[in-house]
């Protein structure tokens, strides 16, 4: 399978990706734990059906030493017992913000309030920005049908 459009070789798309990656670096350097960032990125990518990003974030989690059970259960985190309360709050926020069109009024107040119990204002800013960035990356990859499976950690 090949992508409809190569986002890495097209001049305009590559320039756009450069800025998105730079935005991601700000988040990577934040106080939000790497494992949490990867879990959230994986869940957003699963919801959006972005095979390339699911490939990337499962491999990043494994590379960072994350337990395979926790990686495999992200799609069913609500019923899983392997996530902390802060992780559950972040995953809930990620789901609600990703499915924003499904809920009139956007992210419910109780989801936001729960997240504020576990994260500082700066961490919330990083979390919300990460969710938005992942949704953007997913939409790019899904639209052009970037294939999954060949990613190697550190490739990008």
pLDDT (tens digit, 0 to 9) for every residue of the chain, 156 residues total? 899 999 999 999 999 999 999 999 999 999 999 999 999 999 999 999 999 999 999 999 999 999 999 999 999 999 999 999 999 999 999 999 999 988 778 999 999 999 999 999 999 999 999 999 999 999 999 999 999 999 999 888
* Alpha carbon distance 54, 135 (integer Å): 12
Domains, the chain, ordered by start = 34-141 (1.20.1290.10)
pLDDT at position 104: 74
Token duo for residue 36 = 């949490």
The answer to whether the CB of 130 falls within 8 A of the CB of 26 is no
Q: What residues have CB less than 8 Å from 87, skipping those under 6 apart?
A: 36, 39, 77
Closest residue by Cα to residue 57 from 28, 30, 22 = 28
pLDDT at position 30: 96
* Alpha carbon distance 105, 112 (integer Å): 13
pTM score, whole prediction: 0.95
pLDDT at position 119: 98
């Amino acid at each position: 399978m090949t992508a409809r459009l190569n986002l890495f070789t097209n001049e305009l798309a590559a320039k756009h990706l450069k800025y998105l990656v730079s935005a991601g670096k700000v988040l990577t350097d934040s106080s939000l734990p790497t494992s949490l960032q990867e879990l959230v990125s994986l869940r957003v990518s699963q919801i959006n059906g972005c095979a390339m990003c699911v490939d990337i974030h499962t491999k990043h989690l494994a590379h960072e030493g994350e337990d395979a059970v926790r990686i495999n259960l992200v799609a069913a985190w609500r019923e899983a017992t392997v996530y902390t309360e802060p992780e559950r709050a972040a995953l809930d926020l990620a789901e609600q913000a990703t499915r924003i069109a499904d809920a009139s009024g956007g992210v419910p107040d109780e989801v936001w309030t729960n997240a504020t119990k576990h994260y500082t204002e700066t961490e919330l800013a990083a979390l919300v920005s990460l969710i938005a960035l992942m949704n953007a990356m997913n939409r790019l990859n899904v639209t052009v049908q970037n294939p999954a499976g060949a990613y190697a950690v550190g490739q990008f």
